[in-house]
Amino acid sequence: MMDESVSITQIVQRLKGTNLHSQLEKQAKECLHKPEIKLETLKDDVRRLLKASGWERKLQNAVYRELHILPPPGHPRAPPEHTKEPLAYMRKTQVNWEKRILKSLNSMCTELGIPLARKRPVAEQKELTNKWNEMGTDEPDLSKFRPVYAPKDFIEVLVGLKNPNNERSEDLTVRSHWGLIQVSLNVRDILQMVSLPFFISLPSIFLMSRHKELVSEQDSAAAQQYSRQGCPTGLRAQLWSLILNTTNDPEDITHYEQLKARVIHHDLLVDNLIYKDVKLTASNDDYYFVFEDYLYQVLLCFSRDTAVLEHFNYNCATPPKSCIQSKSGSEQCAVVYPPNGVIPFHGFSMYVAPLCFLYNEPSKLYSVFREMYIRYFFRLHSISSHPSGIVSLCLQFERLLQTHLPQLFYHLREIGAQPLRIAFKWIVRAFSGYLSTDQLLLLWDRILGYDSLEIVAVLATAVFVFRAENLMEVTSLASAEAVLADLSTLKVMPLLQIFLFATSV
């Protein structure tokens, strides 16, 4: 009960400053002019009117959204870092990792002699404004830039994670874990996940017919429930937007325009990293290359969005701080850089790319991406014990595979092809760039529907199960990679169903 009232207070506090709050006040005041309002029953009457006009629903959606991003409950006297991540060794590893990334970024800056941030001369600003819709035509020289890190660097950090309390046992026993992740976290097995229907929710006629009502009711929670069975293509964009409670109101557009203005005025070193990433990944992708320009429009703005810093309330990572030279030449240290606290890595743009199929207005695309990032994607590259965090997902994948296909796991291990080495890149990107887009969107429907990334780990296992026969024949890591190189023909739901039915017997 104590926790609940604390949460309520927190949410009320957060909502107080928002535009929704002022709009509600305004609406409530306007209600007073209505003839059906009686002084004796003022409160109830106003409430009733707000409900009828859909404002109560908007408030509900806003509260629902806040619940998603509420910081974890903790002891009132515990420092926030402990609340965000209770395990000390995880915190330590994350801190060290952050130091490494930051060092890498700063040394790149020094080596190349490029400032972390630079105000653009007016002529350059004008040029960029004109070219805003076709930045893809630019051919900047990016050869000197390298990504700050790639998934292959990150996996090594995760593999090195060790709980100092545990004894290290070299013997391989049936009970020991054969995979690369050496920490014991509580991850769920198939049967523990919210019952079998979890994955195999077949759409019932009743639910299918609720399309139109869902959209007209504008209910976030209902939309989220609905998304568990997959969204119809024509409605997906609206449903996701509803689930994430992203709007395209004037103030959202204004916010986006402000970010755009920041891009025009200042050049950031990380911009080059973004360019390079897009050129290396999305531009070479059959599905996403057409959206190159959109990706710049989103990611460059994203880097400058200080509103993203809010997510560090529940993200165990801390925003990186660097020294920026100000105009007067004096150094300002301990400035969050990049402004949004997120240093992009190789493949980052692939989080945005699939969304381009759904939203063709940059401000809308931006809002949805940002919300997806601060709810889900950030967990894929920060070290924590959260069930949807990358560590848990990797462990879950390995445990599922070891439990349900021990022979395969053992075989792969013996030939030096640890399954996680192949699956990691899929998990880190939530399969973006590996599945065909229509299938990927069906997968992300479920991430949103179940508010969890666990399905990514389950799918990774299901892929191995599907190709198990071929994998048993291979004799090297390279040939294992080859068997699993092309996932573009896979169908997500049948794959999951096969796996679940096979393992539940």
Sites of contact with another protein (CB under 8 A): 130, 133-134, 136-137, 139, 232-234, 236-237, 283-287, 289-294, 357-360, 437-438, 441
| DSSP state, residue 489 | T
Cα separations in angstroms, 428 against 249, 397, 422, 431:
32, 12, 11, 8
Which is closer to another protein, CB of 257 or CB of 310? Answer: 257
Which is closer to another protein, CB of 244 or CB of 441? Answer: 441
The residues that bridge with 267 in the sheet, in sequence order, are: 118
Which is closer to another protein, CB of 238 or CB of 503? Answer: 238
The answer to whether 308 touches 302, Cβ cutoff 8 Å, is yes
Which is closer to another protein, CB of 162 or CB of 491? Answer: 491
CB neighbour list of residue 320: distance below 8 Å, 6 or more residues apart: 98, 101, 102, 105, 336, 337, 341, 343
Which is closer to another protein, CB of 294 or CB of 409? Answer: 294
Closest contact distance (angstroms) between CB of 134 and another protein is 6
Which is closer to another protein, CB of 232 or CB of 416? Answer: 232
Tokens describing residue 75 = 């002891």
* Closest to 147 measured CA to CA, from 344, 360, 393, 396: 344
CB neighbour list of residue 293: distance below 8 Å, 6 or more residues apart: 133, 134, 135, 136
Element (H, E) at 333: strand 331-336
Which is closer to another protein, CB of 358 or CB of 422? Answer: 358
> Helix, strand, or coil here: 336?
strand
Closest contact distance (angstroms) between CB of 224 and another protein is 19
Tokens describing residue 343 = 């240093």
* Closest to 157 measured CA to CA, from 343, 414, 428: 428
Closest contact distance (angstroms) between CB of 81 and another protein is 40
- Tokens 């103030």 appear where? 251
Closest contact distance (angstroms) between CB of 128 and another protein is 14
The residues that bridge with 324 in the sheet, in sequence order, are: 332
Amino acid, res. 473 = E
Which is closer to another protein, CB of 420 or CB of 441? Answer: 441
* Closest to 71 measured CA to CA, from 89, 52, 85: 85
Closest contact distance (angstroms) between CB of 249 and another protein is 20
- What is the bridge-based pairing of β-strands 321-325 and 331-336? antiparallel
Closest contact distance (angstroms) between CB of 239 and another protein is 11
* Closest to 318 measured CA to CA, from 494, 80, 11: 80
Amino acid, res. 306 = T
Phi, psi of 268 (to 5 degrees): -110, 150
Closest contact distance (angstroms) between CB of 248 and another protein is 13
Closest contact distance (angstroms) between CB of 148 and another protein is 25
Which is closer to another protein, CB of 353 or CB of 500? Answer: 353
Cα separations in angstroms, 361 against 60, 107, 293, 356, 369:
26, 37, 12, 9, 12
Closest contact distance (angstroms) between CB of 294 and another protein is 7
Which is closer to another protein, CB of 273 or CB of 355? Answer: 355
CB neighbour list of residue 219: distance below 8 Å, 6 or more residues apart: 57, 60, 61, 242
Which is closer to another protein, CB of 396 or CB of 437? Answer: 437
Q: From the centroid of its chain, how far is CA 115? A: 29
Tokens describing residue 395 = 């462990």
Closest contact distance (angstroms) between CB of 56 and another protein is 28
* Closest to 312 measured CA to CA, from 18, 84, 48: 84
Which is closer to another protein, CB of 198 or CB of 291? Answer: 291
Half-sphere exposure of 450 (CA within 13 A, CB side): 23
Closest contact distance (angstroms) between CB of 409 and another protein is 33
DSSP 99-127: HHHHHHHHHHHHHHT--SEEEPPHHHHHH
Which is closer to another protein, CB of 137 or CB of 216? Answer: 137
Closest contact distance (angstroms) between CB of 65 and another protein is 23
> What is the number of other CB atoms lying within 10 angstroms of the CB of residue 106?
16
Closest contact distance (angstroms) between CB of 295 and another protein is 11
Q: Say what the alpha-carbon torsion angle 163, 167, 172, 176 is, to the nearest 10 degrees.
A: -60
